[in-house]
Structure 1
Amino acid sequence: MLQRSLFRASRQAARSVQQPIQPAAFATIRQQAGARAAPAFRWYSDAAPAAEAKPTENAEEAKPDEVARLKEAVEKKEQDIIAKQDKYLRSIADYRNLQERTRREVAAAKDFAIQRFARDLIESVDDLDRALQNVPTDKLTPENPDLVTLYEGLKLTDLILINSLKRHGLQRFDPSIESEKFDPNKHEAVFHAPMKDKNDGTCFITQQKGFLLNKRVLRAAKVGVVKNS
């Protein structure tokens, strides 16, 4: 009995396999497969997300002692700024004064570099000037051509020498030529004498001419001063 039942079941299974599948069944299978294989889409909105509302925080009022401390700190900073600005301005002024002083010292060193040399040179100029003054003018006649030639040569030499010295800032002056008022900064009074046709305190004779080096007195002129009273 058991063998017969098994035989019948196997024959029925073979018949069911041999039967063709209907087209409607294929369509159903395809629809089911497409439904299972269809891709899933996720759509996003273009609208900007709503901003999250931030909770408003109530500002805490500063304490009175904190405000006072801040004011004190600000005042201290302002005082520091004023002090540093004053120090800065003073430094600039000191630097400019140093520049000006250095410029004057350099200029003075340049102008008076030949001072020692000039002091030695004016002695020779004095000797030449005295030689010209000691030539008797009554002897300068055509009868003494050699003396005239010598005198003119000395005079020309003196003129060239004085002009050369003048180009280097050394200038000779004679206060008695224009009866200058006695100036103790430029003149040295050797003696006083009454002169009726001269004003008191004027220079009427020069014993030794003076020299200026760049408008500074290198040697004072030795003069006689008028004193009528």
Structure 2
Amino acid sequence: MSKESSKAQEPQIEEAVEAQIEVETQDEAQAVTFDTSLMDELTQANFRVEELEQALAAAEAKVAEQKDSVVRAAAEVDNVRRRAAMDVEKAHKFALEKFANELLPVIDNMERALQGTNAEDEATKAVYEGVELTLKSFTSAVEKFGLSQLNPQGEPFNPDHHQAIGMQPSEEFPANTVMMVMQKGYLLNERLLRPAMVMVSQGGGVDTQA
């Protein structure tokens, strides 16, 4: 090849090289642009995932809080129902307390009437039998409503149910034993309505042992 031909082809070669370089540069620029766009999309996706995770955690915390509130509310309702049921039960049991207290003197008077008459005496026999029958019917009726009698003759003294009006020596009864009932006591549904008034034994004899 002559020198003239080589010189004539040099511009063409340079143009081809420059064109190839330009194409490669454009490809690299597009690749960089693509990588940047992909990174931006990935970054946005990560931010979105974090936002969703935070929203999910907040929702789960809210659900747990509401569940706890529901459990506490249900427990409180159950307690209120239980207290209400107990109040109703107590009201049923002790609604007659005031009325029963008014009946006790009537029972006491009928028992005194029996003590003042004699079933063996013809003059008072009819009265005794009538009062006795009335007293039995009366006490049977009030027992149906939870009223029960305390007559602790010969029983150990119980300060929860008995009221001691005095103590006396006794050979017949051991110490701290009810030796005499001055007035009977009463319970209403196992709750003390009136204590029994009693005389308590101190026991008998003097200890002569050294």
Q: Tell me if TM exceeds 0.5.
A: yes
Equivalence for 1:159: 136
Secondary structure at the counterpart of residue 80 of structure 2: helix
Q: Find out whether 1:127 has 2:109 as its counterpart.
A: yes
Change (3 A) 1:149 1:92: same
Which one of 176, 191, 195 corresponds to residue 216 of structure 1? 191
Change (3 A) 1:80 1:132: same
Q: Distance in 1 between matches of 2:49 and 2:169?
A: 90
Q: Distance in 2 between matches of 1:70 and 1:118?
A: 72
Report the AA paired with residue 83 of structure 2.
R
The alpha carbon displacement at 1:64 in A equals: 4.6
Q: Distance in 2 between matches of 1:119 and 1:66?
A: 79
CA displacement, residues 179-203 of structure 1 (integer Å, 9 cap, x when unaligned): 3332222211211223344333332
Q: Distance in 1 between matches of 2:194 and 2:69?
A: 46
Q: Distance in 1 between matches of 2:164 and 2:152?
A: 12
Q: Find out whether 1:102 has 2:84 as its counterpart.
A: yes
Equivalence for 1:117: 99
Of Structure 1 and Structure 2, the greater helix share is in: 2
Q: Find out whether 1:91 has 2:91 as its counterpart.
A: no
Give the root-mean-square deviation of aligned CA atoms. Answer: 2.5
Change (3 A) 1:125 1:78: same
Report the AA paired with residue 91 of structure 2.
A
Report the AA paired with residue 169 of structure 1.
G
Q: How many residues align?
A: 165
Larger Rg: 1
Q: Distance in 2 between matches of 1:83 and 1:92?
A: 14
The alpha carbon displacement at 1:61 in A equals: 4.0
Percent identical residues? 30
Report the AA paired with residue 210 of structure 1.
G
Q: Distance in 1 between matches of 2:124 and 2:139?
A: 22
Secondary structure at the counterpart of residue 166 of structure 2: strand
CA displacement, residues 82-139 of structure 1 (integer Å, 9 cap, x when unaligned): 221121111111111111111121222222222211111111111111221233x5xx
Give the stretch that moved more between structures: 154-163 or 218-227.
218-227
TM-score, reference length from structure 2: 0.68
* Structure 1 unaligned residues grouped into runs of 5+: 1-57
